Amino acid sequence: MARLIRTEKEVEGRYTEQWIVVEEDPLDRWPEGPLEVVGRPAARVDGLQRARGEARYTADLALPGMLHAAVLRSPHAHARVRRLDFAPALEAPGVRAAVGPGDCDVLVEEAGYQGAPVAALAADTFSEAQAALARVGVEWEVLEPLLDPDEAVSRGELIEEASRYERGDVERGLAEADVVVEAEYRTATVLHNALETHQAVCEWEGDELTVYISTQWIWGVRKDVAKRLGLPPDKVRVVCEYMGGGFGAKIDPGDHTYLAAELARRTGRPVRCALTRREENLASGNRHATVQRLRAGAKADGTLTALEGEFTMAVGWDGFVSSTAGPMKMLYGCENVRTVELGAKLTTGPNDAFRAPGFVEGTFGLERLLDELAAKLELDPLELRRRNGADADPVDGRPFSAKNLAECYRRAEPHWARRGEVRARSEGPWRRGVGLASQVWYGGGGPPSYAWVRVGSDGRATVLTAMQDIGTGTRTAMAQIAAEELGLPLERLSVSLGDSSRGPYAAISAGSSTTPSMGPAVRAAAADAARQIVEIAAQRFEVEERVLSLRGGRVVSEDGKSWALEDVTGLLEDGQILGKGSRGPNPAGMRVLTFGVQVAEVAVDVETGEVRVERIAAIHDVGRVVNPLGASSQVEGGIIQGIGHTLSEQRLLDPGSGRALTVTLDAYKLPTIADVPEIVTELLDVPDGHLTSLGSKGLGEPPIIPTAAAIANAIRDATGADVRSLPITREEMLRALREARERAYAL
Amino acid sequence: MTELLVNGGRHEVHGSVLTTLAEVLRGHLGLTGTKVACGEGHCGACTVLLDGAPALACITLLEAVGEREVTTIEGLRDHPLVDAFVRADAVQCGFCTPGQIVSAAALVRETPAPTREQVRHAMAGNLCRCGTYPKIEEAISTWQG
């Protein structure tokens, strides 16, 4: 019977309450450790399609009669359109339609950042559309840019009201401290640069709109597009079969989707709107820069007595303020904490979620501060962290559903113990050292999410759910979970996803939530199908249901008899067995979080300021690991992105005009294969005993969180220099070395 | 009208003096395995072989190809590297993967058992934002089984 319950839902730290319907009785939890399929390394079920170039991405879609849009974007950081004349552009070869402010509400008259969309047109080919853009008559009134976040705050230019948090008494905590450290840390604006740019193809059939889109959330796009266009949601179909990376910036439909929909409506033809790489680096979102003014007080034994932070985020023209104070509130059991988060409204491109938004930046500041504190206390940095562990959520006292950070620290010891040997390998100008940093993040997922499982008479099964695989390997994880429950080898499973008209509602692929949200629904659907198979077999072979189970593609009886699955399902000929499942609630009154620690080894050339990362050991606890092979890839990918924003990536603006200088991939420095250190991944792989029948949490974000701080702390270990600004350019490295030398002379 | 030799077949294609090889492969011949991610020769996603040597299709003009044979990922689908990439999990979102495999195929044809440094040198022009690099190294070091 359906039970209606109220439960808490979390995405990237934003909690909401909602009603859900729970139909099934909870399933037994699987035992710990590798099972038949779950917990064992599996190559991706769609690996061949992707590797052979057969997978069709949104970028590869060519519909009959399809037109191509090009978008006129502001060349100025801040400007107003005085006059817009489409007439010459409409006469250009191939042009079919043009739209400006007033025609589509994503087009603006006041451009608040370079790249803000002002007008768009559709033509037979993309090059014709681009050529016609140059013929649009446009007159700009250039306005004053505002680029400095501190200046914006002092002028009161905030995106939203300041967010304040306080527990205990920070003044008392500081007064009781034996040691106080304070420092200012900065992180740069960094760009997602998924290799498939933001794009959509929109096609109208009558009053029904199909949106083919590179997205992290099929159902979110469906809901937003329907709402904005005034359509019933079931008139909007959203398709994303293969997706070329998102990292947080492809959650909303985006301006391009609304432009494609409007141009398609006007022309009666399908329209593609795809950002170029340069547009991608101006107008598709970014991780906002931060300025963090932090203070910590501690007793001589290392007990934290106070943590205080003022965080200013360079949000841009719009976008949300990422929770940069999160780690300071959540990571340590300090009684006295006060934070304020200020989101500066600037004439720069909008902030968007980027792999653990806020926590990457905030962990850099907090975990650097902890190492500066450890140095002053002459305490081992690992020991300092151990002494300040939180047994319950420090924010509201809730018990954790599971917390194994202490075990992560224990597993980090052998890596941490390499310090002496690593330092001893310093030679000439190259100084070597080891640093570590801890990680806290969400990642529990939540309801609602649904899946169906279809078993055919040939004994093969298909998982159907309208989720998306953005490259994380969730298609494979879902196949593994269903295979485990059905007792089938992985090769007898298919997964059909990526189309809102081909399966039920599914969760967002963000916030490290896909596997913990979808996995339990898929398992429940497979269990529903498995139950029906057992019931059919019991009747056909005249045995009791309770002695039957599904294993190795067979229905197995306790007395040793067994029948091939297809001998049972084959009875049905064209008939199918249909299972359905849904995601149940998260544990009431508990805090579901992920934890981990990374240990970095670096080499620093103290003459040139060159920094090389030589080794990173990553130890994370994300509950049960469904696919250890895919999981290690997630960890490596997170760390490599982390190395990028630690050492080389930053969006640079011309300080006078506010125009971006880093819009191409030769100017914006992504890590290459030559920048990758040795990476050692250790996942605890202990199911969270309170979280769903699966006990799995998400792994997309945790690995990127501590990387920058671990590297910067290793630099301190190697050289005694405190780097406080990301990326750690040679200038920053040499500045920190100079400061350390001056500090040494002064003593 | 230009004659183009692609994956062992001859094709008559039309293009202006500014038409790129990537446009012809993807748009005219339907060979969408060649991806375009930056369109200006910075990322390697569009890598194809011209007479066996890696080239960036997005900045190679059709007119400049001449008599050289073009090999795209579609012409390398049965190369053992493809399986090696899948086995090693050197595929995340997969958008850069065809270009990676084409570059790797050129490398192992010259140097069947490359050193780590040779792999890093030959593959440094193929960006992967998902960070599959360690698995790419593994795939290239195990491609012969």
Shortest CA gap B66–chain A (Å): 23
User: Do residues A115 and A74 touch, judged by C-beta distance below 8 A?
Assistant: yes
Closest by Cβ to B94, choosing from A127, A471, A636: A471
Residues of B (21-60) whose Cβ lies below 8 Å from A = 26-27, 31-40, 42-43, 45
Whether residue A599 has pLDDT greater than 90: yes
Nearest to A492 by CA among A581, A564, A563: A564
Q: Clarify whether residues B95 and B32 are in a common domain.
A: no
What does chain B come to in residues?
145
Q: Clarify whether residues B50 and B70 are in a common domain.
A: yes
CB pair distance less than 8 Å for B92 and A52? no
Whether residue A120 has pLDDT greater than 80: yes
Match 């009161």 to its residue by tokens: A156
Distance CA B64, CA B15 (A): 12
**In chain A, which residues have their Cβ closer than 8 Å to the Cβ of B73?**
52-53
For residue A627, give both structure tokens: 């696919």
| Res A23: pLDDT | 72
Q: Clarify whether residues B7 and B28 are in a common domain.
A: yes
**CATH (domain of B66):** 3.10.20.30
Beta bridge partners of B61: B20
- Looking at per-residue pLDDT, the higher value among B133 and A8 belongs to B133
Rounded to an integer, the average pLDDT of B20-46 is 97
Return the HEC string of A456-499.
Answer: CCCCCEEEECCCCCCCCCHHHHHHHHHHHHHCCCHHHEEEECCE
Rounded to an integer, the average pLDDT of B23-51 is 98
Q: How far apart are the first and last CA of chain B?
A: 43
CB pair distance less than 8 Å for A672 and B133? yes
Distance CA A453, CA A518 (A): 13
User: Do residues A708 and A639 touch, judged by C-beta distance below 8 A?
Assistant: no
**In chain B, which residues have their Cβ closer than 8 Å to the Cβ of A629?**
89
Distance CA A496, CA A467 (A): 9
Element (H, E) at B95: none
**CATH (domain of B83):** 1.10.150.120
**Residue pairs between chains A and B whose CB atoms are closer than 8 Å:** 167
> pLDDT tens for residues A161-200?
999 999 999 999 999 999 999 999 999 999 999 999 999 9
Domain end, chosen from B54, B75, B96, is at B75
Whether residue A397 has pLDDT greater than 70: yes
Handedness of CA B31, B32, B38, B44 (dihedral sign): negative
Mean pLDDT over all residues of chain A? 97
Q: Clarify whether residues B104 and B116 are in a common domain.
A: yes
User: What angle, rounded to 10 degrees, do the helices at A707-719 and A359-377 form?
Assistant: 30
Burial class (CB in 10 A: 0-12, 13-18, 19+), A500: buried
Domains within chain A, CATH numbers bracketed: 3-57+445-582 (3.30.365.10), 61-144+195-245+250-283 (3.30.365.10), 145-191+286-392 (3.30.365.10), 402-444+587-747 (3.30.365.10)
> pLDDT tens for residues A445-456?
999 999 999 999
Closest by Cβ to B120, choosing from A60, A243, A673: A673
Distance CA A443, CA A355 (A): 12
Q: Clarify whether residues B119 and B133 are in a common domain.
A: yes
CB pair distance less than 8 Å for A636 and B133? yes
> pLDDT tens for residues A423-468?
999 999 999 999 999 999 999 999 999 999 999 999 999 999 999 9
What's CA A661's distance to the chain center, in Å?
26
User: Do residues A153 and A312 touch, judged by C-beta distance below 8 A?
Assistant: yes
CB pair distance less than 8 Å for B27 and A245? no
Share of chain A above pLDDT 70, in %: 100
Q: Clarify whether residues B27 and B47 are in a common domain.
A: yes
Torsion, CA A80, CA A93, CA A96, CA A214, rounded to 10:
-80
Rounded to an integer, the average pLDDT of A716-724 is 98
CB pair distance less than 8 Å for A51 and B98? yes
Element (H, E) at A595: strand A594-605
CB pair distance less than 8 Å for B32 and A56? yes
Range of the domain at B130: 76-141
Distance CA A106, CA A116 (A): 9
CB pair distance less than 8 Å for B38 and A664? yes
For residue B127, give both structure tokens: 């960006």
Nearest to A605 by CA among A739, A745, A725, A433: A433
- Which of helix, strand or coil describes residue B70? strand
Give the other-Cβ count within 10 Å of A285's Cβ. 24
Supply the DSSP symbol for B57: G
For residue B76, give every residue at least 6 positions away whose Cβ sits within 8 Å of its Cβ, in sequence order, or none: B82, B101, B102, B105
Closest by Cβ to A471, choosing from B77, B93, B123: B93
User: Do residues A273 and A298 touch, judged by C-beta distance below 8 A?
Assistant: no
Q: Clarify whether residues B7 and B58 are in a common domain.
A: yes
Shortest CA gap B14–chain A (Å): 15
DSSP string covering A62-130, please?
A: --TT-EEEEEEE-SSSSEEEEEEE-HHHHTSTTEEEEE-TTTSTT--SEE-STT-EEEEEEESSHHHHH
Q: How many domains does chain B have?
A: 2
| Res A618: pLDDT | 98
Whether residue A25 has pLDDT greater than 90: no
Nearest to A483 by CA among A460, A500, A504: A460
In Å, the largest CA–CA distance within chain A is: 89
Q: Clarify whether residues B26 and B39 are in a common domain.
A: yes
Q: How confident is the model at residue A747 (pLDDT cuts 50, 70, 90)?
A: confident
| Res A14: pLDDT | 82
Backbone angles phi, psi at A185, to 5 degrees: -120, 150
| Res A10: pLDDT | 82
Q: Clarify whether residues B83 and B134 are in a common domain.
A: yes
Q: Clarify whether residues B92 and B131 are in a common domain.
A: yes
Chain A contact present for B118, CB below 8 A: no
**In chain B, which residues have their Cβ closer than 8 Å to the Cβ of A51?**
82, 85-86, 91, 94, 97-98, 101
| ipTM of the prediction | 0.98
| Res A8: pLDDT | 84
CB pair distance less than 8 Å for B97 and A51? yes
| Res A24: pLDDT | 67
Shortest CA gap A246–chain B (Å): 9
Q: Clarify whether residues B11 and B51 are in a common domain.
A: yes
Domain end, chosen from B75, B95, B120, is at B75
- B/e letters for B120-138, b = 16+ CB within 10 Å, e = fewer, are bebbebbbbbbbbbbbbbb
| Res A3: pLDDT | 85
Distance CA B64, CA B87 (A): 37
User: Do residues A618 and A415 touch, judged by C-beta distance below 8 A?
Assistant: no
Q: Clarify whether residues B82 and B64 are in a common domain.
A: no
Domain end, chosen from B75, B96, B115, is at B75
User: Do residues A60 and B32 touch, judged by C-beta distance below 8 A?
Assistant: yes
For residue A321, give every residue at least 6 positions away whose Cβ sits within 8 Å of its Cβ, in sequence order, or none: A159, A160, A163, A313, A315, A341, A342, A343, A351
User: Do residues A651 and A139 touch, judged by C-beta distance below 8 A?
Assistant: no
| Res A11: pLDDT | 79
| Res A79: pLDDT | 98
For residue A652, give both structure tokens: 């640079």
Whether residue A678 has pLDDT greater than 80: yes
Chain A contact present for B132, CB below 8 A: yes
Rounded to an integer, the average pLDDT of A488-507 is 97
Residue of A nearest to B126 (CA): A672
Chain A contact present for B69, CB below 8 A: no
| Res A17: pLDDT | 87
